[in-house]
Chain A
Amino acid sequence: MSAGPTIEAPGAQGVPGNPSRAGGPAPAPTGPTGGPAVRGRLPGHLPYRWRDGLVAAAFLLPNLVLLAVFTYRPLADNIRLSFTSWNISSPTATWIGWDNYVEWFTSAGSRTVVWNTVVFTGAAVVGSIVLGLALALLLDQKLVGRDAVRSLVFAPFVLAGAAVGVAFQFVFDPTFGLVQDLLRRVGAEPPAFYQDPSWALFMVTVTYVWKNLGYTFVIYLAALQGRRRDLDEAAEIDAASTWTAFRRVTWPQLRPATFFLLITVLLNSFQVFDVIHTMTRGGPLGDGTTTMVYQVYQETFVNLRAGYGATVATIMFLALLLITAVQVLVMRRGEER
């Protein structure tokens, strides 16, 4: 693959780039001019340069305008709005300085929301990474019918989160649902998924992990298939135990995939709206499953406090930036060792 001079995008850890290299000491080859960004053609050979500029403008401008107007403009505007009191249907927003921030940082409700966000995101990240890896290891083995099972595991990932949320409301229905039936068959009393905030949070987390497991699974499976078989054979000749072989030989080779998943799954699960909205509307008890993203929606479009919603959105964005930066730093450390 990438034999040509490529730019390893800084700050692009949220996408299938290559996180290990993106954050690493960048051993990537550079173009003939030495600059990493210039994909040199023949040195000193500059035909059609003026034309290149015009063509590039024509090719890029529509996309750049869209990104500027609908991504960067609202990002900046959101910060301005976070200092206002504003009903979203009214034309005027009133400047109130830091009041929204003071309110958010001092309100008891925020603690619940942050806790919900941390629990949901943490459980989703750990759950889908551990289970995705286990599934990949299982279905990397030679088992009859594994291709069909691989497809099955991946299938929920393509379903709409809203449809999965609606369907799983019935799956978790306390009287006629699937889960209560299975629990009663083994003699357990089903918990109050829709009344108890902790169980409600558990329910939406399980639903989200069920839907997204296919993603971590395919990434790990691809990583396993790309590993060095000769090392496996060496481990076998050394008669290493299965666990030792996994820990010493396989796991280190999965590190880039793991870092990639840590960042992407965290960013994605931090932003989950559809499953929560369809299953619980952020409840029970008002904020039982309200995460920060859901609070942004709730304050802005239900309580019509768009200024306060913008404040929560801004805090959330800064938190995401901070978390991503920390992850990249930790990742670099890990590579330098």
Chain B
Amino acid sequence: MTTTSWRTARSAAPAGAPHERRTPVRALGGYLAMLLVVVVVALPLYWILVSALKERPDIYTVPVTWVPDPVVLENFSAVGSGVAFTDFLRNSVIITVVLTVVQVVLGVLSAFALAFLRFPGRTAVLLFVIAALMVPNQITMISNYALVAGLGWRNTYAGIIVPLAGVAFGTFLLRNHFVSLPREILEAAEMDAAGPLRTLWRVVLPMSWPTVVAFTLITVVNEWNQYLWPLLMADDESVAPLPVGLTQLQDAEGLTNWGPVMAGTVLTMTPILVVFVALQRHMIKGLTTGAVKG
């Protein structure tokens, strides 16, 4: 079992690993390296934020200024007037929520069937699901575009959501977790003649919440950040999500009107960063499960 959360790691990591031997010089080097990392990762993010808060002339200065003077919110209001940003936000929420609910439900049900139910062809079905992971979206998009456009589903939520709703990764992740559950408990549930839904709800899921939560979070992040497929499916703010709206904002504002564009970027990034800060540990668990065992 691998420890994956930041904090438990601290107590589980005694000093004494070869590259952890502490001398003052080594510690100083460690802190300098850490400072460099902070600068490289955080500086672009800081730059985006302060640019969004700068007055127009303040953005176009050489050399650049590091603190907005004065701090203004005009770029954020310009975002709203340039494109229908609240509409894009609404679309992102709808698409993400529906896709996440559908994928988690389908993933749990599929994984349960593949892990616990006997039926002919189970191995073949499992292979069918897993092999889908090897098929990139870019290979399916041409034919799917033609199909969805033929149905008249362009510029509808269904056109964006339905083709993305199949669950391969989640089925695989959850199934691997389900088969690792202690068999005795499940057999006890079967002896009690509990139905499958009842077994799932009362026995399997209570032992599986961390994995389900991890998969849910990964799905939220993935769907919130979807770009190519919604770009093909949606022409305007009626159904397009935020990332597509952001590029439309850039087109509307002109390529170099950076203030509103950076404000739009901040608005697009913030919701997912809030989710991340609150729940990162659960998400990391899902990403690292199974990847690191020797």
Chain A residues engaging chain B, CB cutoff 8 angstroms: 1-7, 9-12, 14-18, 20-21, 35, 37-39, 41-42, 46-49, 51-53, 55-57, 59-60, 62-64, 66-67, 69-75, 77-78, 81, 88, 135, 137-143, 145-147, 149-156, 158-163, 166-168, 170-171, 173, 175-176, 178, 181, 184-185, 210, 213, 215, 218-219, 221-223, 225-226, 229, 232-233, 235-236, 240, 242, 245-246, 249-250, 253, 255-257, 260-261, 267, 270-271, 273-274, 277-278, 293, 296-297, 300-301, 306, 309-310, 313-314, 316-317, 320-321, 324
Since A37-B122, A153-B37, A171-B44 are in contact, a sample of 6 more A-B pairs with Cβ atoms closer than 8 Å, ordered by chain A residue number, is: A1-B1, A1-B293, A63-B166, A166-B247, A215-B287, A277-B231
A37 close to B290 (CB less than 8 A):
no
CB distance from A208 to the nearest CB of B (A): 13
CB distance from A74 to the nearest CB of B (A): 3
A162 close to B6 (CB less than 8 A):
no
Q: A2-B179, A313-B139 are in contact. Are A15 and B2 (CB under 8 A)?
A: no
Q: A42-B187, A249-B18 are in contact. Are A267 and B250 (CB under 8 A)?
A: no
How far is B224's CA from A322's CA once the two chains are assembled, in angstroms?
31
Which A residues are CB-close (under 8 A) to B118? 38, 41, 46, 49, 52-53
How far is B29's CA from A88's CA once the two chains are assembled, in angstroms?
57
Binary A-proximity of B38-66 (CB < 8 A = 1, otherwise 0): 10111111011001000000011111100
Sample of 17 A–B contacts (CB below 8 Å)? A2-B179, A18-B290, A49-B118, A53-B119, A66-B106, A66-B166, A88-B146, A138-B30, A142-B22, A160-B246, A219-B287, A219-B291, A225-B12, A236-B21, A250-B17, A300-B145, A324-B134
CB distance from A231 to the nearest CB of B (A): 9
Which B residues are CB-close (under 8 A) to A219? 287-288, 291-292
Which of B72-80, B201-209, B264-272 is the contact stretch? B264-272
Binary A-proximity of B7-47 (CB < 8 A = 1, otherwise 0): 10110111111111110000100110110011011111101
B288 to A, closest residue via Cβ:
A222
- Residue from A41, A63, A218, A274 within 8 A of B171 (CB atoms): A63
Q: A141-B30, A250-B19 are in contact. Are A74 and B147 (CB under 8 A)?
A: yes
A163 close to B243 (CB less than 8 A):
yes
Q: A74-B139, A74-B144, A81-B143 are in contact. Are A14 and B294 (CB under 8 A)?
A: no
Q: A39-B179, A225-B4 are in contact. Are A159 and B34 (CB under 8 A)?
A: no
Interface centre among A16, A75, A232, A260 (most CB of B within 10 A): A16
SS of A interface (majority): helix
- Residue from A49, A146, A153, A163 within 8 A of B269 (CB atoms): A163
Question: Which 7 A-B residue pairings sit nearest by Cβ, starting from the closest?
Answer: A245-B18, A74-B143, A66-B166, A37-B123, A162-B243, A74-B140, A223-B292
How far is B151's CA from A111's CA once the two chains are assembled, in angstroms?
37
B287 close to A306 (CB less than 8 A):
no
SS of B interface (majority): helix
How far is B264's CA from A81's CA once the two chains are assembled, in angstroms?
38
B110 at the interface (CB under 8 A from A): yes
Interface centre among B27, B113, B294 (most CB of A within 10 A): B294
B15 to A, closest residue via Cβ:
A142
B124-182 CB contacts (< 8 Å) to partner A: 125-147, 162-169, 171-173, 176, 179-181
CB distance from A243 to the nearest CB of B (A): 9
Which A residues are CB-close (under 8 A) to B169? 15
How far is B265's CA from A278's CA once the two chains are assembled, in angstroms?
12
A207 to B, closest residue via Cβ:
B44
CB distance from A325 to the nearest CB of B (A): 11
B256 to A, closest residue via Cβ:
A173
A274 close to B2 (CB less than 8 A):
no
